Structure 1
Amino acid sequence: MTTETLARSPVIRLDPADNVVVAREDIAAGVSIPSEGVTTNHDVPVGHKLATRPIAKGDPVLKYNTTIGFAGEDIAPGDWLHAHNVLMDEVQKDYRHAQDYVAVELLPENERATFLGYPRADGRYGTRNMIGIFITVNCAATVARMISRYFDEERLADYPNVDGVVAFIHEQGCGMEQTGEPLDLLRRTLAGYIRHPNTAGALVCSLGCERNNLQRFMEAESLDTGKMLRTVTMQQIGGTKAAIEEGKAVIREMLEEANRIEREPASAEHITIGLQCGGSDGFSGLSANPALGKAVDILVRHGGTAILSETSELYGVEHTLTARAKSEEIGRKFIERIDWWLDYNAGRDTQINGRVSPGNQEGGLANVIEKSLGGAKKGGSTGINAVYEYAYPVTEKGLVLMDTPGFDPVSATGQIAGGANLICFTTGRGSCFGSYPAPTIKLASNTPMYTRMQGDMDLNCGQVIDGTKTLDEMGEEIFAKILATASGAPSKSELLGVGEEEFAPWQIGVLS
């Protein structure tokens, strides 16, 4: 796909073997497309597909030379293809575990890109320097929220090296099993945020009688209190007002300490990015996602890490990922997670069983396989070095997978708990997501949406669709934005104050 091709044709061809192309603009019925030798038989909306060859009923529909479904009827060249005539069915997949894995050639350390990060005692670097207020149970939510609101912009003016005091509120912690995976998952998510390289200090608030008992939580996660990790229990200290006042006093002490930490040059190997997409459209898999994949390939060569997630939105193309796994064991672990999602969602009206959201459909995506094909592009072309379950610490470098739902706040929360100190979020319809303590960079897939929502979008990957930039050029621009944001340049969501409400630990059982 070249800039020249994009500029002269109203459609985009992704692979010579494809029997469909994608409309780069709204195309009316009766329009001749000389580059494909077809005339449109129907109106084709921007981002949607049209056939370039006859496709018999039951034959595969190919995009990126990958089956995204099967013709539900005989389809003629020039026909509009969408959910009405592209049907899902089982495809026999050859997982080819580890057969396409290629080890990354890392740049020498003295040639790697750098950013200005906050040094931590364990050798990691933060992209932000924040104080977090955490709760063991929702019963302590108001206390945490009132403490964080007290430390507004005016009160933080004397602490220029502190990026904020944020309350991380959830709805769990009681009314749940005292043992088992749901409680373990909540605890490791909270612990991941408390230990996060962007968290300079943490206050943990509890009620006192909850099932997620404070002492047991601290012991289970090997968390020790000290100058920058403190706790307050409402029932012990005298109730809501006393807990708020104690919390304010604790945060004041932490602010003095956190403000002493200053940014210093650090290798890009200390950057870990969570890859997200939401509000996808027909261009997401053509511009923003593959451009982000190019940036991921660059980051990995510089020694950094990227986390590809949203398992239910990788279904249908999982065989393209297992072939890139470092070992057969890693490939099989990923398939085990895919199978868990298929078993859990059997018979339910959920995305993994075919039907994507109304916004995705309107944007041109016929089914979850087409969505997954585009979503996987965020991972670039590098090998896959590990598979993690939700919110486990990511210790491997390079590209890794983490099992998360497709719902963006829940997925990103798991990635941040795993150590992501930045989130890169692609969108075609216009997601307004943000996150703390790791900032979110939002990448627009098309120029009209970017123009309409510039207050939320950080970069316009629609330049690829417009023909003014190649994917490689866009990837370089994204990588530069990653370094700048990691060094302290505020993202659009940070400027808007978006991110505090998006902390959403997975409650196992939420469907995707």
Structure 2
Amino acid sequence: MEKQLIKVHPKDNVAVALKNISKGTQIDFEKQSIEVVSDVKAKHKIALTPLEINDKIIMYGVLVGSASKPIGKGEVITTENVKHQSEKVFGKTEQFTWTPPEASRWKDETFMGYHRKDGQVGTRNVWLFFPLVFCENRNIEVLKEVFEKELLNQHVSEQQLLLRSLLNKSDQSSSSVVAQPVPVFDNVEVQFITHQGGCGGIRQDSESLARLLAGYVNNPNVAGATVLSLGCQNLQIRIFKDALTAVAPENTKPVLIYEQQQMGTVDNMLNTIITDSFEAIKKANEIKRSPASISKLRIGLECGGSDGFSGISANPTLGHVSDIMAAVGGSAILSEFPELCGVEQELVNRCVEEKDGKRFLELMKAYEKSVVDAGSGFDMNPSPGNIKDGLITDAMKSAGAAKKGGTSPVSEVLDYTEYVTKPGLTLLCTPGNDVESTTAMAGSGANIILFTTGLGTPTGNPITPVIKVSSNTELAEKMPDIIDFETGAIIRGEKTIEQTADQLMEYILEVASGKPTKAMELNQSDFIPWKRGVSL
């Protein structure tokens, strides 16, 4: 008989519905008979025991909420009968030991990457254009149009042909087949960033943006950069150069910087930029891929548009990949601090250095205080889509999201814009917002990002390949243009987490060696800096 429920951890007092279950259904589960007392949608949870008001809700073996009303055995868990609750954490409570997974298969694996002089290895070779201030966004857009049209030999898009047919009142089917663009250069890409920062806010935000942009230049996926400045903004060229020196004291990458208020007309500035940048891009194209150890991978771990299966299939798969990377000397980055609420104790106990455990708690508490001061709280984190698909409380969402970090020791804890320097698992303070978090991980050195989703999201990044991993097969079939890899076989019981992680590792190596992700094919290049301050 097809399995209808799953209990994630032996301590749990709720189970997850693997399919829609009708009211009155009798289920034999763990040597007891459970009558489902209300209709339950797939991905939602039912109580395995009767619960009184304030009784704890346990899932993934941790506290994820408490009953706000009496809940009967077999009754569905909802926002109407459960409220957010998580354990208080004050410090390390036990010594941590770890048994690495069997990773001999991966120890000597390589990928074809771009070797940089500082020892980092890129999975892409990008020449990056960006402004220091939003005033230069228009000039960046002009440069983007010029370079993309000429360097990619862009043809008319499918959407342009559609509009043309509508304007001409012709049959869309008569449109000619859209040819794929053929790049002029085969070893370098051009990418463009715009943003709304650099001036108008507190100086700390401009300094933070400088560090983020410096991290992008230092990322191994970047060959060099063209930087535009207006001249009078908060984020002065000097501040950016200081940030770049701090993260890359021996930087040898070419960085071309132009200040509009020193260059006269827009045409004069743009003509100079195009001439200089083209010569630099030609040189960057001379860099070739060559074999690199898998230990040179620095993998960002992200989730967005999560559903009730994310913490059971996709996120644990990333967790096993993270453990494999730790075992072979590679790196993984777990971010989204609001989505670590409720699992702090486990993460503190996993910190190799006691100072990192203390710093993690300090960053979490400071972040939560800033949210409360703004009139909100971490309990407001689950989105309407999360709740609709079974993630009822922030702690429940967090417990599943944290599975991306596996079980390995935490080697370092970093604040936003700090750069990863150690192998193993790093905790990086970022928002839970998908794009702000992926933006931050690329700025901290991630050369691959794994992004799990149960509902679907198109997010990509200008410099780092984003591999979209779906928690269920239905999503992969519905949105094949944005999903790279799916883990639905775990839900069906057809594959183990370990088997799925091995398959994902193979896919990661293909992408690291040049296979484009779906987000890259769609030219999805999202970049949103985290603005922590106010506008002045």
Provide the TM-score with structure 1 as the length reference: 0.93
Contact 2:63 2:86 in 1 (8 A): no
Distance in 2 of aligned mates of 1:225 and 1:263:
20
The residue identity in structure 1 corresponding to 2:477 is T
1:101-157: CA deviations, max 9, x gaps?
438599789942210000111111100001001211111111122112212265242
The residue identity in structure 2 corresponding to 1:286 is I
Match of 1:52 among 42, 48, 51: 48
Q: Deviation of residue 96 (structure 1)?
A: 2.8
Counterpart of 1:215 in structure 2 is 238
Match of 1:457 among 455, 478, 483: 483
Structure 2 counterpart SS, 1:345: helix
Match of 2:201 among 176, 179, 191: 176
Structure 1 counterpart SS, 2:321: helix
Matches within 5 A, 1:297-376: 297-346=323-372, 350=376, 352-354=378-380, 356-376=382-402
1:44-95: CA deviations, max 9, x gaps?
1110001121222221111122111111222221111121111224534464
Q: Deviation of residue 343 (structure 1)?
A: 1.1
- Counterpart check, 1:191 vs 2:214: yes
- Counterpart check, 1:400 vs 2:394: no
- Counterpart check, 1:25 vs 2:29: no
Matches within 5 A, 1:190-269: 190-222=213-245, 228-269=254-295
Distance in 1 of aligned mates of 2:100 and 2:85:
35
- Counterpart check, 1:508 vs 2:508: no
Contact 2:295 2:330 in 1 (8 A): yes
Counterpart of 1:4 in structure 2 is none
Matches within 5 A, 1:474-489: 474-489=500-515
- Counterpart check, 1:144 vs 2:170: no
Contact 1:317 1:373 in 2 (8 A): yes
Q: Deviation of residue 226 (structure 1)?
A: 7.7
Structure 1 counterpart SS, 2:280: helix
Counterpart of 2:187 in structure 1 is 161
Distance in 2 of aligned mates of 1:290 and 1:225:
37
Matches within 5 A, 1:406-421: 406-421=432-447
Q: Deviation of residue 327 (structure 1)?
A: 2.1
Contact 1:413 1:504 in 2 (8 A): yes
Q: Deviation of residue 170 (structure 1)?
A: 1.1
The residue identity in structure 1 corresponding to 2:5 is V
Q: 1:460 to 1:105 in 2, by over 3 A?
A: closer
Identify unmatched segments of 5+ residues in structure 2.
153-182
Structure 1 window deviating more from structure 2 (367-376 vs 461-470): it is: 461-470
Q: Deviation of residue 217 (structure 1)?
A: 2.4
Contact 1:118 1:262 in 2 (8 A): yes
Contact 2:319 2:407 in 1 (8 A): yes
The residue identity in structure 1 corresponding to 2:256 is R
Identify unmatched segments of 5+ residues in structure 1.
1-6
Structure 1 counterpart SS, 2:148: coil
Matches within 5 A, 1:53-202: 53-89=49-85, 91-93=87-89, 95-96=91-92, 99-102=95-98, 111-152=107-148, 155-156=151-152, 157-162=183-188, 164-178=189-203, 181-202=204-225
Contact 2:192 2:462 in 1 (8 A): no
Structure 1 window deviating more from structure 2 (45-54 vs 224-233): it is: 224-233
Structure 2 counterpart SS, 1:152: helix
Structure 1 window deviating more from structure 2 (197-206 vs 73-82): it is: 73-82
Distance in 2 of aligned mates of 1:95 and 1:211:
39
- Counterpart check, 1:494 vs 2:520: yes
Contact 1:176 1:183 in 2 (8 A): yes
Counterpart of 1:3 in structure 2 is none
Distance in 1 of aligned mates of 2:243 and 2:484:
39
Contact 1:455 1:492 in 2 (8 A): yes
Kindly tell me the number of residue pairs found equivalent between the two proteins: 499
The residue identity in structure 2 corresponding to 1:62 is I
Q: 1:210 to 1:100 in 2, by over 3 A?
A: same
Structure 2 counterpart SS, 1:80: coil
Counterpart of 2:413 in structure 1 is 387
Distance in 2 of aligned mates of 1:435 and 1:411:
11
Structure 1 window deviating more from structure 2 (27-36 vs 263-272): it is: 27-36
Counterpart of 2:178 in structure 1 is none
Provide the TM-score with structure 2 as the length reference: 0.89
Q: Deviation of residue 337 (structure 1)?
A: 0.8
Q: Deviation of residue 265 (structure 1)?
A: 0.3
Distance in 2 of aligned mates of 1:15 and 1:139:
52
Q: Deviation of residue 372 (structure 1)?
A: 0.4
Contact 1:416 1:438 in 2 (8 A): yes
Contact 1:18 1:64 in 2 (8 A): yes
Contact 2:453 2:468 in 1 (8 A): yes
Contact 2:337 2:432 in 1 (8 A): yes
Structure 2 counterpart SS, 1:442: strand
Distance in 2 of aligned mates of 1:205 and 1:461:
43
Contact 2:348 2:360 in 1 (8 A): yes
Contact 1:423 1:441 in 2 (8 A): yes
Contact 2:98 2:407 in 1 (8 A): no
Q: 1:460 to 1:323 in 2, by over 3 A?
A: same
Contact 2:298 2:330 in 1 (8 A): yes
Q: 1:355 to 1:256 in 2, by over 3 A?
A: closer
Structure 2 counterpart SS, 1:356: coil
Q: Deviation of residue 496 (structure 1)?
A: 0.8
Contact 2:37 2:75 in 1 (8 A): yes
Distance in 2 of aligned mates of 1:447 and 1:200:
37
Q: 1:362 to 1:108 in 2, by over 3 A?
A: closer
Q: Deviation of residue 22 (structure 1)?
A: 0.3
Structure 2 counterpart SS, 1:221: helix
Distance in 1 of aligned mates of 2:233 and 2:194:
15
- Residue identity over aligned pairs, in percent, reads 36
Distance in 1 of aligned mates of 2:307 and 2:89:
26
Structure 1 window deviating more from structure 2 (227-236 vs 198-207): it is: 227-236
